[in-house]
Amino acid sequence: MPSTISAGTTAGTAIAISGDTTGNLAFQTNGTTTAMTITTSQNVGIGTTNPVQTLHVVGRGIVDNGTGTQNAFSVGTNSSGTGTGLGCIDINGTAYSALYLRANNIIHGQFTDNNGATIVLGTITNIPLIFQTNEIERGRFDTSGNFLFNSGYGSVATAYGCRAWVNFNGTTSPGTIRGSGNVTSVTKNGTGDYTINFTNSLPDTNYAVTGTVYRSFTNSTRTGSVNPITYATGSLRIGTSQTDSASGSYYDYDFVNVAIIR
């Protein structure tokens, strides 16, 4: 038993103090109901008599914004004391399960737990993660893991990423890469015929391909087109041809630029 400071319910016991030698301290209401405990490890517990963190709160907390409107949230620590949680329950009496990050509440720095592991920002099953400024939704991660944002689109829309891109010299074998993303190498199969090899495979072959080519000579400059030949999850085979040629033959170009969207 800890030492206690107790608010009694009968005359003569308004404040009762008892002591022991454990070094723990408990604050009680209604005579015997413990409201807060402070341990010899300086852990403070509210709603628990055995706090395992510096501040260990079990149940719900209330935040009053000063206008009489209360925002409820839950704060908790698991039984082993190795994890914490903070989740929005309701706002102004209306239930919400999404987590809101607002522009006037700045969060910065590197977040880790007391074991040095990265803290993951997320929500419970089937609940999106929503980002707002001025009470207007600006972005979200939906329940399928898609990222949606509004950056001049007029509404929040799914962001489709460039899964791979490359700028290479098509006159060399293998193709000499000037710059790339998610591309390990370019294999030259023949004149104007190349295989672009991905670092990380794509989930399927239903991706879109866009590209440009440019070839410089002493007395002429030719542009052409990028033509997909074979779609694969780990690579893409393309051919480069002249836009002014009716033969359909492939040509080597100094600059071949290709992007894969999925």
Mean pLDDT per 10-residue section of the chain, whose length is 262 residues? 81 79 89 89 89 80 58 41 38 41 43 51 68 78 83 79 94 96 97 96 95 73 85 96 66 94 90
β partners of residue 137: 132
Look at residue 189 in the predicted model and tell me its pLDDT: 96
* DSSP assignments along 128-181, one per residue: -EEEEETTEEEEEE-TTS-EEE-SSSSS-EEPPPEEEEEEEETTSSSPEEEEEE
Look at residue 102 in the predicted model and tell me its pLDDT: 43
Look at residue 221 in the predicted model and tell me its pLDDT: 52
Distance CA 235, CA 233 (A): 6
Name residues whose C-beta falls within 8 Å of residue 203's C-beta, 6 or more positions apart in sequence. 233, 262
Look at residue 74 in the predicted model and tell me its pLDDT: 45
DSSP secondary structure letter of residue 53:
S
CB burial of 39-66 (b: ≥16 within 10 Å; e: otherwise) equals beeebbbbbbeebbbeebbeeeeeeeee
Look at residue 5 in the predicted model and tell me its pLDDT: 82
β-pair type (136-141, 44-46): unpaired
CB 87 within 8 A of CB 124: yes
**3-state secondary structure at position 202:** coil
Distance CA 239, CA 252 (A): 9
Q: Domain spans of the chain?
A: 3-51, 60-158, 162-261
Length of the chain: 262
